[in-house]
Chains A and B, each alone.
Chain A
Amino acid sequence: MKPRQRLWLFLVAVAGLTSFYLWGLVGLPGFGHYPGPYGDIINRIAVGQTNATGVVSAVNFEYRGIDTLGEEFILFAAATGVAIVLRHLRGEREHQPTEAASPDARQDSPAVRQLSLLLTGPMLVLGWNLASHAQTSPSGGFQGGVVLASSFVLIYLAGQLLTLRRLSPVDVTDAVEAAGAAGFVAIGIAGVAMGLPYLTNFLGLGTMPGAVSSSGTIALISFFVGIEVAAAFLLIVSELLDQTLLVRQETS
């Protein structure tokens, strides 16, 4: 195709896309205006019904708990996929990892190491704090889980590759991830065992809205999601990290 023809094709396509796009924009509700009833209803009733002042968590782990379960298994499947694709193949062997031989040990700056070392502890605490306070404030298992996983990444950035591998062997990380995912499912099944619909909040809601001990299964589910998410991300990072240490032998 000649450049001139291509240009025309492009112009026609852009004109078509633009007109449809603008047409679609005209039909949107005004900026910041929400026509549906659900958001307003949830805002009115959520705290009273669940004793959770973190209303987003109440929505995620209670009102649409089954959707969140599905979403969690998207991450679970993704981490499993990474582990399968990056498994050790025949003819691949690993460098014996030593601190000195880690891919970038000789180049990284002392400032990065020190800063990472300093931040590891606070990040760990922050992660747990977020994962265990879904019911009281805007946080939750996913946010807490990724913060937890990143505190492990900081250990690697501090140049402590061997420590990281000791703290999170792939088998253990695998098992923890599975346990987190299974915990969420089990809470749902526990409700069924009591003759209630799946994922019914069967625990006591506590007496005070916004207390850490309030909101029943919302806090518990958030805890399991936190474990699952942290392990899933840690697994993905570890698998990729292992790849940088792999040597492919020519076996023919």
Chain B
Amino acid sequence: MTPDLLAASALAPVPAGLMDALQVTILVLVAAGAAVVVKTRDPVRQVVLLSFYGLLLALLFLAFQAPDVTLSELVVGAVLLPVLLLLTLTRVRRREK
């Protein structure tokens, strides 16, 4: 962002150290969350965890100053993808019966 645009912004700048700490914290959470999703064996449980992982990713994008990507990830990662997967699971399981 150019200095003149920064000056026009009404928001007080966040101290750089605080922002770094936030970004590192969320990166660690995302890495841990991914491991948890992969290690889960039950598909339904995995889908629910994946949905929460989508929320984590949305937070990650927010912390890295991409609010528009946050909005997409929030809906696609936390809502639509889990719904598609759950519907598929329903279909597959009914066929197995």
Residues on A facing B (Cβ under 8 Å): 40, 43-44, 47, 54, 56-57, 103-104, 130, 138-140, 142-143, 146-147, 149-150, 153, 233, 236-237, 240-241, 243-244, 248
Contacts and interface: CB of A to CB of B under 8 A. Distances in A.
13 contacts: A43-B1, A56-B68, A138-B71, A140-B68, A142-B72, A150-B79, A233-B80, A237-B83, A240-B84, A241-B87, A243-B87, A243-B91, A244-B94
B84 A236 contact: yes
A238 to B, nearest CB: 10
A243 B86 CA distance: 12
A243 B92 CA distance: 10
A147 B75 contact: yes
A240 B71 contact: no
Given A43-B2, A153-B83, A146 B91 contact: no
Interface string B1-15: 110010000000000
B26 interface: no
Contacts, number: 56
A82 B79 CA distance: 19
Interface residues of B, number: 19
A153 B84 CA distance: 10
A150 B75 contact: yes
Contacts of B76: 146
B90 A244 contact: yes
Contacts of A146: 72, 75-76, 80
Interface in B45-84: 67-68, 71-72, 75-76, 79-80, 83-84
A147 B91 CA distance: 25
Contact of B80 (A139, A143, A150, A241): A150
Contacts of B95: 248
A128 to B, nearest CB: 14
The 10 closest A-B pairs by CB, nearest first: A143-B71, A138-B67, A240-B87, A146-B75, A138-B68, A150-B79, A244-B90, A243-B91, A56-B68, A244-B91
A104 B95 CA distance: 15
Contacts of A147: 71, 75
Contacts of B1: 43
**Max chain A CB contacts within 10 Å: which of B1, B5, B84?**
B84
**Max chain A CB contacts within 10 Å: which of B1, B67, B71, B75?**
B75
**Max chain A CB contacts within 10 Å: which of B68, B71, B76?**
B68
B6 to A, nearest CB: 10
B19 to A, nearest CB: 10
**Max chain B CB contacts within 10 Å: which of A40, A43, A150?**
A150
A44 B2 contact: yes
Contacts of B5: 43, 47
A11 to B, nearest CB: 22
Given A143-B75, A237-B84, 14 more contacts: A43-B1, A43-B5, A44-B2, A104-B90, A143-B71, A146-B80, A147-B75, A149-B75, A150-B75, A150-B79, A150-B80, A233-B80, A240-B87, A243-B87
A104 B94 CA distance: 12
Given A43-B1, A146-B75, A240-B91, A139 B84 contact: no
